[in-house]
Amino acid sequence: MGTSTSATGRVLGIQHYPGGYTLLRLTTDRAASFQPGHALQINGALWPILQTTPEQNGVDCLQRSISPPPSESELHIGDPGGIAFDISAATPRALLLADNDGIAAITFLARALHNREPRVKPLALFGLTHPLPFQPQPSRIMTAGLPSDVIAALPLLEDWGIPSRIACPTREQPGCFEGQVVDLAQIWLNILQGVADITVFACGSDQLLKASCQLSDDHQLACQSRRALLP
């Protein structure tokens, strides 16, 4: 039987974004142990981890439709929820797919793969509905195989030098792909001359995971999928 571990944490800051999203920033000496796909269990709710800064014991979580703990409050940090992605199984290139509830896990994963040695080249595609929790920005990272007019990127990944694009299936949004995120991924895979070195990672709803697995099967690619961790 495994043993659980726990530590204390403290809320450093709270920011609210459109769409009911809340960014929760906290500090805990367990920061270095968390992996992409994990979520913190706080006051009975799951908070997917967006990024960690282990050198500062920092953890950022992103969740929506839930009230955060008070700023400066002390927290009990137990074992994380969720199943971590197996980064050791990644191939030289990675196709990352997420919907609204998979933003945190896929963003965390993209950075982990990008910083890994040997480095993996990730492309992160997000299928998001309006209102978006952030203001997309035109990408400065050219990515072969994507439609030239699809340039909207997630700002945080852009800052890290990781290519990303956004699909908006329900409403036209400047620079975004009009359609499902898996359709955008299909366009990219169809144009590439070789895809054998790509692993697909997906996090989100059952609908997204099913479509991602089908896409992987069609192209004979390895696939890791994780259901989004809702509150």
Residue 12 pLDDT > 70, yes or no?
A: yes
Whole-number average pLDDT of the chain: 94
Q: What is the pTM of this model?
A: 0.94
Q: How many domains does the chain have?
A: 2
**Which DSSP state fits 132?**
P
In the chain, the largest separation of any two C-alpha atoms, in whole Å, equals 53
Residue type, 124: A
pLDDT at 1: 43
**Which DSSP state fits 2?**
-
- If asked whether residues 104 and 200 sit together in one domain, one would say yes
- If asked whether residues 114 and 143 sit together in one domain, one would say yes
- If asked whether residues 122 and 39 sit together in one domain, one would say no
pLDDT, mean of residues 25-38: 96
Residue 34 lies in domain: 7-77
Q: Is 34 exposed, middle or buried (0-12, 13-18, 19+ CB in 10 A)?
A: buried
CA distances 186 to 31, 190, 192, 201, 222, Å, are 36, 6, 10, 14, 15
- If asked whether residues 15 and 109 sit together in one domain, one would say no
- If asked whether residues 63 and 96 sit together in one domain, one would say no
pLDDT at 231: 67
Question: The domain spanning residue 65 has which CATH number?
Answer: 2.40.30.20
Residue 173 pLDDT > 90, yes or no?
A: no
- Picking from 31, 50, 77, the residue at the C-terminal end of a domain is 77
